Amino acid sequence: MDFSSFINRIKDIEKVPQKYFIVDPELPLEVYFGLDNSGRPTLLIEDIEKTFSPSEIPSTAQILVLSFNRQGKACLSFSLLSSEHRSIFNTLCYDLVEATRKDTRQQALLCLLGRFVAWQNLLKGTRPGIMSLQEQRGLAAELLALIHFAQHKGIDVALDAWVGPFKMDKDFEFYDDWAEVKSCQVSATSVSISSIEQLDSATEGELFVYHIDHSPENKEDAFSLEDIVQKVRGYTKNAAMRRMLDSKLMLQKYMDNEPEYQKKRFCVHSHAIYKVSDGFPCLRRELLVAAITTCQYSISLPAIESFRME
């Protein structure tokens, strides 16, 4: 659908207030356009599997972002707050719709979210905030795991499975298994699990643990965050894969040519993969009383040595 066809489509839609009409039935996501109860032009994405907190997808001065449940389905909406910015909003909506033209629903949603982050920064006229040292280590660990899966499963499968930027329960979700990735300092003897769902699953998965620390610039095997990003990009086979990777990196607040990500060096001192199977010491939802809704806990690494994979 070209831009003029899209504009004509939404003009027809707005003739029926307070109703939403699907934009393009061929999209992998259910994308609607209409006027909300306040008469504001709104792009609505329905049945996206989970809702988001306002901090995960914040509104801007011009765009109200809402994440909610509607008739048992998780939805996400983008509404224009000021009519004077209507032309920009039309362009944004068209760009978000086109970003969803992917093979799977998951790819479509990730690309849409990544594209909206770029629009947020453009509308605010600012660059994303710098990741903390802990966030940089965490992203480096996920990218190292992504390289591992690219080598063993293929980059297309690995990229599609990388849902960490999407704030899902686990960092990688494949068709028949999953993986959670943790980074910690060299001296760490335990890893922190931030939710019950991170290691709870009906299928076996893997826990990747990377001991990563800040490193002097002259250390031979040290790398920057930009180094590891460029290495991952080297695995991508086409422009579509590159766009998917860049969208996910954007969701993680990564940006190219940032001195912080070029100069700060890291070193992986060791890493291990543990099989999360029956008997693995982790919390299971089915074993907890209903009154416990959330919790965080730590797992001793020496205590799970018998689950370590070669």
Where do the domains of the chain lie?
3-124, 133-307
The residue among 134, 60, 76, 85 whose CA lies nearest residue 110 is 76
Per-residue pLDDT band at 86 (split at 50, 70, 90): confident
pLDDT tens per residue across span 20-48? 888 889 999 999 998 888 888 999 999 88
The pLDDT of residue 126: 57
294 contact partners, CB below 8 Å, separation of at least 6: 195, 196
Q: Report the distance separating Cα 240 and Cα 253, nearest Å.
A: 20
Question: What is the Cα–Cα distance from 124 to 220, expressed in whole angstroms?
Answer: 40
Percent of the chain with pLDDT over 70: 97
What is the pLDDT, as a whole number, of residue 128?
Answer: 65
- Supply the mean pLDDT for the chain: 89
Q: At what angle do helices 105-124 and 239-251 cross, to 10 degrees?
A: 60
DSSP 8-state assignment for residue 287: G
Residues with Cβ < 8 Å from 9, sequence gap 6 or more?
Answer: 1, 23, 33
Whole-angstrom Cα distance, residue 18 to residue 23? 15
Which CATH code of 1.25.40, 1.10.10, 3.30.70, 3.30.1460 fits the domain covering 3-124? 3.30.1460
**178-184 and 205-215: which strand pairing?**
parallel
State pTM to two decimals.
0.72
